[in-house]
A and B are shown apart, each in its own frame.
Chain A
Amino acid sequence: DAGITQSPRHKVTETGTPVTLRCHQTENHRYMYWYRQDPGHGLRLIHYSYGVKDTDKGEVSDGYSVSRSKTEDFLLTLESATSSQTSVYFCAISHGTLNTEAFFGQGTRLTVV
């Protein structure tokens, strides 16, 4: 298994509170991604990073911010959580854009009540 660790694995939080999810990799891959998975929508890209301090928005970035201060960590922050952000969040890493494989973490189940 690729060395990707997501934390926490499960979290319940209240509406309006800030939440940070962490993705940690030991593979030294350049590209890191945050996806959310919802029934009927598959996986949708939130934000991605193509290097330290280099990030960009994905398809569903509203309400989320990210930071990547070092190669191994990619943080996803919900500044003020809403019930619509209840989802399963997956981090993925990739060696390059032409690389054939993206490795996925085990996911974080976030519930906003």
Chain B
Amino acid sequence: GEDVEQSLFLSVREGDSSVINCTYTDSSSTYLYWYKQEPGAGLQLLTYIFSNMDMKQDQRLTVLLNKKDKHLSLRIADTQTGDSAIYFCAERAIPGGSQGNLIFGKGTKLSVKP
């Protein structure tokens, strides 16, 4: 079945770049997502990438996709203390199917130190 793997923790200093990595197993995935969860809150979509793209940039966020290796990364430039949160990688593996379910990784907790 589908599986999404992420490292559980990442600690960076304010102003540095953060890179959160994710691997997935389903080669039929069409959309891959990054969600952010702040303490006590729901999940907020940060960005997504379609599987025919290699890179997507959105302000401080850069998503890189290596489809051959099934590897997805999220780079946050100039990381701020407000970026401290849990980041979830997710894939949507069944385009057009009745499920449309998102398969989530376990989440990476990003801690930003001043």
Binding site for B on A (CB under 8 A): 31, 33, 35, 40-45, 48, 50, 56, 58, 90, 92, 94, 96-107
Contact = CB atoms under 8 A, between A and B. Distances in A.
Contacts of B102: 33, 43, 45, 92, 102
A79 B103 CA distance: 26
Interface of B: 4, 30-31, 33, 35, 40-45, 48, 88, 92, 94-102, 104-107
Is chain B's interface secondary structure helix, strand, loop, or mixed overall?
loop
A58 B44 CA distance: 22
Contact of A45 (B41, B42, B101, B107): B101
Given A48-B99, A50-B98, A94-B100, A102 B45 contact: yes
Nearest to A94: B100
B107 A42 contact: yes
A96 B88 CA distance: 21
A56 B97 CA distance: 13
